[in-house]
Amino acid sequence: MRYNLNFIYNNWLVITVALSFIIIFFSFFSVNTPSKIQYTDKYLHTVAYLFLSFSASLRKPTNYILIFSYFSFFGLAIELIQPYFDRYFELFDILANSIGILLAITFADFLRKYYSY
């Protein structure tokens, strides 16, 4: 686990940029797969933004407000642009993104306090 956290800590910018591009790709291009789980899209938004903001939260713990603001704005910008790509703006997507960011910040803070890497 120590190696994994050190890798994330040392490569946080590369990880964040790569995940940003992946999220942008899947946000603008439809991948319609039927799901029996209700609100699957919202769970995916939460998990995607949790992973997206985790590395920055682990690396820059003093900037939690800036991290939350940046990734929230990133998600909002994507939601505002989506209608131009035959997708829909959804307020609950923004809420799911925010929950994912808050979970990432909380989890990163917990790891920094209780696990020395």
Q: Which of these, 100, 107, 8, 97, lies nearest to 50 by C-alpha position? A: 100
Evaluate whether residue 32 is within a structural domain. no
Residue 45: is it exposed, middle or buried by C-beta count within 10 angstroms (0-12/13-18/19+)? buried
Evaluate whether residue 35 is within a structural domain. no
> Which one-letter amino acid corresponds to residue 70?
Y
Q: How confident is the model at residue 105 (pLDDT cuts 50, 70, 90)?
A: very high
Task: Summarize the confidence of residues 35-51 as an average pLDDT.
Answer: 85
Distance CA 88, CA 27 (A): 10
Contact (Cβ atoms closer than 8 angstroms) between residue 54 and residue 5: no
Q: How confident is the model at residue 106 (pLDDT cuts 50, 70, 90)?
A: very high
- pLDDT at position 92 over 90: yes
Q: How confident is the model at residue 88 (pLDDT cuts 50, 70, 90)?
A: confident
Task: Summarize the confidence of residues 83-100 as an average pLDDT.
Answer: 93
Q: How confident is the model at residue 33 (pLDDT cuts 50, 70, 90)?
A: low
Contact (Cβ atoms closer than 8 angstroms) between residue 112 and residue 58: yes
Evaluate whether residue 34 is within a structural domain. no
- Find the DSSP H helices in 29-90: 40-59, 64-81
Q: How confident is the model at residue 69 (pLDDT cuts 50, 70, 90)?
A: very high
- Domain extent, residue 74, equals 2-27+44-114
- Number of structural domains (the chain) is 1
pLDDT for res 94: 96
Distance CA 114, CA 76 (A): 33
Evaluate whether residue 58 is within a structural domain. yes
Token digits of residue 82: 């989506």
Evaluate whether residue 38 is within a structural domain. no
CB atoms within 10 A of CB 17: 10
pLDDT for res 93: 95
